[in-house]
Amino acid sequence: MGLIVQKYGGTSVGSVERIKSVARRVVAAKEAGNDLVVVVSAMAGETNRLVALAEQIAESPDERERDVLLASGEQVSSALLALAIKSLGFKARSFLAHQVRIETDRAYGKARIKSIDSRRVKQSLKEGEIVVVAGFQGVDQDDNITTLGRGGSDTSAVALAAALNARCEIYTDVEGVFTGDPNICPAARKLDRITYEEMIEMASMGAKVLQIRSVELGMKFKVPIHVRSSFSEAEGTWVIEEDKTMDEVLVSGVTYDKDEAKITLLAVPDRPGLAAQIFGPIAAANIVVDMIIQNASAAGTTDLTFTVPKADYKKAVAVVEGMADTIQAKGITVDPKIAKVSIIGVGMRTHAGIAARMFQALSAEGVNIEMISTSEIKVSVVIDEKNTERAVRALHKEFIERQAAL
Amino acid sequence: MGLIVQKYGGTSVGSVERIKSVARRVVAAKEAGNDLVVVVSAMAGETNRLVALAEQIAESPDERERDVLLASGEQVSSALLALAIKSLGFKARSFLAHQVRIETDRAYGKARIKSIDSRRVKQSLKEGEIVVVAGFQGVDQDDNITTLGRGGSDTSAVALAAALNARCEIYTDVEGVFTGDPNICPAARKLDRITYEEMIEMASMGAKVLQIRSVELGMKFKVPIHVRSSFSEAEGTWVIEEDKTMDEVLVSGVTYDKDEAKITLLAVPDRPGLAAQIFGPIAAANIVVDMIIQNASAAGTTDLTFTVPKADYKKAVAVVEGMADTIQAKGITVDPKIAKVSIIGVGMRTHAGIAARMFQALSAEGVNIEMISTSEIKVSVVIDEKNTERAVRALHKEFIERQAAL
């Protein structure tokens, strides 16, 4: 009972039949006594179709017009879902971003929600209507249409739940968040609960399930997010605030990311301001640096290693080579065949020795560690890409399966 | 030189290649020193695709949601055209109805424009941008999305031209308005000019070229409308106010309409209020009656004949049969195989004998006249459908070809 914001992804509304099936699920929740706000993505494939149209017209399409174009996908699916709900004999009403109104900044293609005026939605709910909202879209202060980036409908849903003080259910094509990739770890199991912080740290795995921005919003406004499958009735994973029992679990998940490349500057003369000199121009080229490691040597030079998205590493090397005179490195080595493997868990905060156990487990498997980075609730290592599966399996066994067996 | 509102129909923007071609035409007009507001329909086939989706979900889709759905078609084409113009190196900006803003009444699917706030469009023009407006759509006073009915983009364009005090060019897939159907009359020729009144009377022919509502708006606000082909550079037909030279042309066009059926009530007792008794319930059933003819006989009964759209005649007969006790007709006959043939021209106002010449021409061809109706600038006759082509050819010869030969 109460107010629920449900979000259905592109696969869940990918055909007329699936839209009808979503309508039945929505109506069932309504009949159970709940008020419903339903956020929808574009039908699966539609956004790609529209992107292709734009790219046939312009190599790098203007961002404002691209957003006008892409927002039409959610307009279609929200109207179709409202139609489907009405044809089941229930009251429904679709809302676009400018009708709600969902206001964002002006960063076309990756806009951030600044405010939601929930009065019209509340009025509609009061009239007994099931409210359907087009996800992924917003309007800036001048009514220009914006979009929130891939997975943006998740953020639409969580932001609406925050504005309406509602629960949030994210329906997707997986059953929830898993302790590891089931394709690699047969023993991987669905997590019943996970903290916002853990979910954010699980970026590489989590981003496939939830847009990270939606988790940040959920954390900020304390919105419980229930990630579950639209193809079953099973409970999924609750993304929630940490409570006392949760730090009993040392490690919630093991993740990996093969989408980074490693760049090393060899024997750079070590002096103050070096890092700023190097990473300033890289950031200016819109390249996001993930891990950075610097080891000063006794000889007054340092080896500097960092990782960037694999898609950007050639651009990054070009930037660094352009600064050769300034940096005076002895050489540059590049390795795109790496993987980042991480263990994540809020329990690490209060338990010492987790990192050591991780290194030991990898060592026992003969996996060499090339870089290490730690945060309060995460330890990540960079290893040779070919060892990814072995490393993930070993860590899943060490931290998840043993834990469960205790 | 000046401000031009151009409208491109679905065929003209039916593919990426055609959108690029429209962009080149728009840019050429801009380079010639004009300011441009471009109204676009949905890409050919898109509206039908969306209608089909809606009908797969609900047999008679909710009208509000149907309009939300259909309006997405023009959103796509307006964004794509703006992209195409920008990729040619010109400034452009797309506007949806709520952004302009184009306010309509709440009659979903056939809304009428009530007002246009042209400030944002003017601001955009002032900044040197080519303005692209999604046709066919509006918003009601509560921001609900509405659509203007088939051909509604014509009305969007003329209304914008009226609001901006601009010329209006309607680009379509024909070269203009013809004196007759070229498939029937090989000698049919494109009209250089036609009055608003004539264009409205040419509904059956004219509606294929321009939404009638757009002509009414053009007449009210004295907007010159230039109907021309988007596939050639040729001048098309100007729809304009009547001037002194125009009534020298007796007949501007010959039209026919095979989409009506004729219903006759035989020997109805003639008494006051009879017509109201019959046509009230027919109107209540949403059936539009076109021609009505009543011939009182000496015997105190009357034969009452009227025409309705062919698609509605069975419904109309059912309504009439439901009133059998009230009407006390001796019988009902129905003839769906009729055609209405008309001659239209503002010159008729000042020239007597046109109708007589028409009847004579038909008689010479052996064509029997079943009903006659006249207006100030039009004479229509109902004949057997099988005589349509012969009648149209004879009238075109009598009034258009001879005239031209003088």
**Average pLDDT score over chain A:** 92
Residues in chain B, pLDDT under 70: 1, 204-207, 296-298, 403-406
- pLDDT per residue as tens digits for the range A35-60: 999 999 999 999 999 999 999 999 88
Q: What is the pLDDT of residue B268?
A: 86
The DSSP code sequence of A220-244 is HHT--EEEEETT--S--EEEE---G
User: Nearest Cα to B218, choosing from B206, B210, B207, B208?
Assistant: B210
Is residue A126 pLDDT above 60, yes or no? yes
- pLDDT per residue as tens digits for the range B362-387: 999 999 999 888 888 999 999 999 99
Of A57, A86, A144, the CB nearest to B83: A57
- For an interface test with A, give the residue of B38, B49, B65 to mutate (most A CBs within 10 A): B65
Q: What is the pLDDT of residue A405?
A: 58
Instruction: Note whether B19 contacts A: Cβ–Cβ < 8 A.
Output: yes
Is residue A1 pLDDT above 70, yes or no? no
Determine the Cα–Cα distance for residues A37 and A132; give it in Å rounded to an integer: 6
ipTM, interface predicted TM-score of the complex: 0.84
Q: Are B237 and B193 in contact (CB under 8 A)?
A: yes
Q: How far is A82 from chain B (nearest CA, A)?
A: 7
Q: Is the dihedral of CA B166, B168, B169, B172 positive or negative?
A: positive
Cβ contacts of B341 within 8 Å, gap of 6 or more: B254, B255, B256, B380, B381, B383, B388, B391, B392, B395
Confidence category of residue A292, pLDDT binned at 50, 70, 90: confident
Mark B47-59 as b/e (b = at least 16 C-beta within 10 Å).
beebeebbebbbe
Task: Please list every residue in chain A whose beta carbon sits closer than 8 Å to the beta carbon of residue B71.
Answer: 75
Task: Please list every residue in chain B whose beta carbon sits closer than 8 Å to the beta carbon of residue A59.
Answer: 87
Q: What is the pLDDT of residue A207?
A: 62
Of A53, A72, A82, the CB nearest to B16: A53
For the beta carbon of residue B398, count every other beta carbon within 10 angstroms: 20
Residues 45-104 of B with CB under 8 A from A: 50, 53-54, 56-59, 61-62, 64-66, 68-69, 71-72, 75-76, 78-80, 82-84, 86-87, 92-94, 96, 98-99
- For an interface test with B, give the residue of A21, A53, A146 to mutate (most B CBs within 10 A): A53
Instruction: Note whether B145 contacts A: Cβ–Cβ < 8 A.
Output: yes
Task: Please list every residue in chain B whose beta carbon sits closer than 8 Å to the beta carbon of residue A61.
Answer: 83, 87
- pLDDT per residue as tens digits for the range A55-103: 999 988 999 999 999 999 999 999 999 999 999 999 999 999 999 999 9
Q: Which residue has the higher pLDDT, B282 or A247?
A: B282
Q: Stretch A300-326: mean pLDDT, rounded?
A: 89
Strand order of the β-sheet with A331-335 is A292-296, A301-309, A260-269, A331-335
Say whether A68 and B16 touch across the interface (CB within 8 A): no
Of B56, B76, B92, the CB nearest to A16: B56
Determine the Cα–Cα distance for residues A7 and A39; give it in Å rounded to an integer: 5
- pLDDT per residue as tens digits for the range A194-207: 999 999 988 766 66
Is residue A406 pLDDT above 60, yes or no? no
- For an interface test with A, give the residue of B72, B142, B147 to mutate (most A CBs within 10 A): B72
Q: How far is A272 from chain B (nearest CA, A)?
A: 46
Q: Are A218 and A168 in contact (CB under 8 A)?
A: yes
- pLDDT per residue as tens digits for the range B91-117: 999 999 999 999 999 999 999 999 999
- Chain A residue at shortest CA distance from B70: A76
Confidence category of residue A392, pLDDT binned at 50, 70, 90: very high
Q: How far is B92 from chain A (nearest CA, A)?
A: 9
Say whether B98 and A94 touch across the interface (CB within 8 A): no
User: Nearest Cα to B402, choosing from B251, B186, B256?
Assistant: B251
